[in-house]
Structure 1
Amino acid sequence: MCRICGGPKSDGGRWPHCTHCAQRQRLSLIADTTLAELRGGLSLNQYHAKIRGWSRSVYDGPRRCLECGYSLHVDICHVRDVSTFALYATIGEVNAPENLIALCKNHHWEFDNGFLTIRSITKHRPAAKNKAGAGAAGVS
């Protein structure tokens, strides 16, 4: 049994937590890492890939495009471009739920290139998550 959720462990019992809880624990440790700390020692591509990967792990919204509803493959996009955060901002701030949305490839491109605005997208979002400011996503 997982020590956190009480659910079954999927690794045969070697670790005290199930896969889901272990991943959440790792992400919570990463959340306090600053962009500057992450950037050190990584190429620019590796840096952005890490941020994208973690954003997919923490995103808990619907896995469908918030603009058109497409659900076979979506990108998890940053509402506020990662490059606009200060280097002392944490991964937790950059990948905060209110800064992440799901878009299909086409709408992601339109959003990144200014053809689609956050205002038009947020018409489709649940009211409780409609906290994101204007901006374009550039990393996801």
Structure 2
Amino acid sequence: MKCKRCGKETTNPAFCSRSCAAAFNNRKYPKRSKQQKHCKHCGISIISGRSTCDACNPFYVDWSIITLRDVKGKALYQHSARVRQVARSVYRQSDKAKKCIVCGYERYYEVCHRKPIKDFPDDTPISVINDIDNLVALCPNHHWEFDNGLLTL
């Protein structure tokens, strides 16, 4: 039997190697490039697999207008967990170092609020609580020390 791509003798009924199989099949079925689409609500052009833009997306949340009171109203308990989740996202997207600022440990870090969430009034927007200047990366040991007053930043 001969390889469909290169013509070498092979025991496999179609191809002599995975490389030949991939080259043959990739030429036959080329990758599709993403097409420019338009938002189904407002018509703005978007270049992703989504059907709506950020402004029309019903699940998009503008954290600059959502307050701590709004989050507490939706989550009867563990409202701070949602605030911390947004904080981790803000920190990940920032250019700050992704390691403990005290010891430099970089395998795992936790995002910590310099001013605790509980110290903010209920009418404070989440974007203020999770401002990048209020967030810091700490290893679990230094995070515990900071939360228990043994470490000052």
- Specify the TM-score bucket, using the shorter chain as the normaliser: 0.5 to 0.7
State whether structure 2 residue 84 is matched by structure 1 residue 49.
Answer: no
- For 1:81, the equivalent position in structure 2 comes to 116
Change (3 A) 1:15 1:93: same
Partner Cα separation in structure 1 for residue 110 and residue 37 of structure 2: 31
Residues 79 and 101 of structure 1 are in contact (CA less than 8 Å); yes or no, is this contact kept in structure 2? yes
Shift of 1:44: 2.5
Structure 1 length normalisation: TM-score? 0.65
More helix, by proportion? 1
Q: Within 2, Cα distance between the matches of 1:41 and 1:86? A: 17
Q: What amino acid is aligned across from residue 103 of structure 2 in structure 1? A: C
How many corresponding residue pairs?
106
Give the CA deviation at 1:16. 4.9
Q: Does the residue aligned with 1:101 lie in a helix, a strand or coil?
A: strand
Amino acid at match of 1:34: T
In 1: Cα distance, 2:53 partner to 2:74 partner = 32
Greater gyration radius: 2
Q: TM-score, normalised by structure 2?
A: 0.60
Contact 1:32 1:90 in 2 (8 A): yes
Q: Which has the higher contact order (CA 8 A, sep 6+)?
A: 1
Q: Report the identity percentage.
A: 34
Please list, as runs of the form range in 1=range in 2, the aligned pairs for 1:20-99 lying within 5 A after superposition.
26=60, 29-45=62-78, 47-59=79-91, 60=94, 61-99=96-134
2:37 touches 2:51 (CA, 8 Å); kept in 1?
A: no
Q: What RMSD in Å do the two structures reach over aligned CA positions? A: 2.7
Structure 2 unmatched runs, 5+: 1-35, 39-46, 55-59
What's the CA shift for 1:41?
Answer: 3.0
